[in-house]
Amino acid sequence: MRLGVLDVGSNTVHLLVVDAHRGAHPTPMHSEKIVLRLAEQITKHGELAKSGADALVEAVRTAKKSAAELGCAEVMAFATSAVREATNSPKVLRKVVEETGIELRALSGPDEARMTFLAVRRWLGWSAGQLLVLDIGGGSLEVAMGIDEEPLLAESLPLGAGRITRTRFSHDPPSRSELVATSAWLEEQLAPLAHKVTELGRPDRVVATSKTFRSLARLAGAAPSAAGPRVRRTLSDTALRQLIAFISRMTAADLAELEGVSASRSHQLVGGALVAQAAMRALSLHELEICPWALREGLILRRLDRSNGEDETAPGAWRSSPRERTDDSTPVDGSDAVRARWKGGRDA
C-alpha cells in the first residue's frame, strides 16, 4: 500500500510518502516540506496565532493534494509539541479537519518517544540488545530505553532546539554568558531523567535520531546523506565539544552556509547542540550512533503491523495495547470509507 505521513512539527510541516507492506521495510517515494515555524507564532497567552493556524490549514491542504496525486490510500497526520501545547489546540485541530478533511492528531511526548524507539529497534534489530534512544525536536527532547519494542522508559522534556533558542538566547550568536548559563540550567533539568535511566542499567547501544543530531554528526565528520542511509554514522562527546566551540561563534546566517545545515534550522543549531551535549553528560555517554529512522517511520511501521496483509485494514488494525490509546487516521479524500486505527500511547 502507499501511505502518507504528515508530520506537523514546531518548525516544518513534512509529508513523507512510502510504499510498504507488512513484513517489508517502508520505501520512501516522495518527501516535501513547508517551513512554518509554528512555535514562533505562539502568542503571549499561549495560543497559536490566527496567522499560524491559517498557514497550517493551507499547508495541510497542499500536502493532502500532493498525497492524492501520488496515490496515497491513507494519510496519517499528527502534530507534535508546538500544536499540542497551544492553549487553543482543540480549536486549531477542529479548524484543520473542517477546512481540509484531514484529521490532525496531537501526539503526546511519550508517544513520540515510543514510536521513535520502535523505528530504531526495527532498524537495528534484536541483536542491538537494550537500546537507549535520544531525539531532539524543535520543542522537546524525547528519550526512550528498553530491550523490547515497547520501551520500559519513554520520557519527553521541553528541551527542544527551537525552544532553547527562543527562551535562552537573546543574541546571534549567543553570548558567552548565555552559553554557560544555559549549559548549567540544562544539567539541572536533566538530572531526574539521568536517575531514571541509571535505574534501568547500562544500554548495549545508544542511538540518536532527528535532524539536529544528523546535522551535528555531519558537521563533526560523519558521511553525507549522499552516502546512503546504511553507512554507519556516529557523534562523539569530544567531537561535539569541539564543534560547539566552533559553531557557537557563528551567526545563524553563517551556519546556514555549512554543509548539512538547512537554512530553516540554522538558527537553532547551537541550542540543539547544547541539549545534545547536556544529555550526553547527564547520561555519561561518550558516543552516539545515528539512526536514519525516527518518528515518522515508527508510525508507519506500527500501521503496517496492524494490517491484515492484504493492503486493507483488519478490524481493530490500529488498536493499541491496554497501556495505549486509539486514534483515527484519515483517508486521503477525507471520507469515512477508508477509516483506519493508529497506535498512540498514554502518558507514562
pLDDT tens-place string over residues 102-114: 999 999 999 999 9
CA separation for the pair 79, 333 (Å, rounded):
19
- Helical ranges in the chain per DSSP H: 50-69, 81-85, 89-100, 109-124, 161-168, 176-199, 211-219, 237-247, 252-255, 269-282, 295-305
DSSP β-ladder status, 287-290 and 205-209: parallel
Q: Enumerate the domain spans of the chain.
A: 2-106, 125-297
pLDDT value of position 277: 98
pLDDT value of position 187: 97
pTM of the model: 0.88
Q: Which fold has domain 125-297?
A: Nucleotidyltransferase; domain 5 (3.30.420)
pLDDT at 315 over 90: no
pLDDT digits (tens, 9 = 90+) for 54-64: 999 999 999 99
pLDDT at 314 over 50: no
Position 346 confidence tier, pLDDT thresholds 50, 70, 90: very low
What is the mean predicted confidence (pLDDT) over 308-337? 42
CA separation for the pair 51, 283 (Å, rounded):
40
CA separation for the pair 239, 276 (Å, rounded):
12
| Vertex 218: Cα angle to 212 and 220 (nearest 5) | 105
pLDDT at 344 over 50: no
Position 149 confidence tier, pLDDT thresholds 50, 70, 90: very high
The neighbouring-strand residues paired with 329 are 340
DSSP 8-state assignment for residue 37 = -
pLDDT value of position 246: 97
Radius of gyration of the chain (CA): 19
pLDDT at 212 over 50: yes
CA separation for the pair 146, 132 (Å, rounded):
7
What is the mean predicted confidence (pLDDT) over 268-281? 98
What is the mean predicted confidence (pLDDT) over 85-97? 97
Is residue 69 a contact partner of residue 111, using CB atoms and an 8 Å limit?
no
What is the mean predicted confidence (pLDDT) over 34-51? 95
Q: Which CATH number fits domain 2-106: 3.30.420.40, 3.10.250.10, 3.40.605.10, 3.40.50.970?
A: 3.30.420.40
CA separation for the pair 41, 242 (Å, rounded):
33
Is residue 41 a contact partner of residue 63, using CB atoms and an 8 Å limit?
no
pLDDT at 324 over 70: no
Position 3 confidence tier, pLDDT thresholds 50, 70, 90: very high
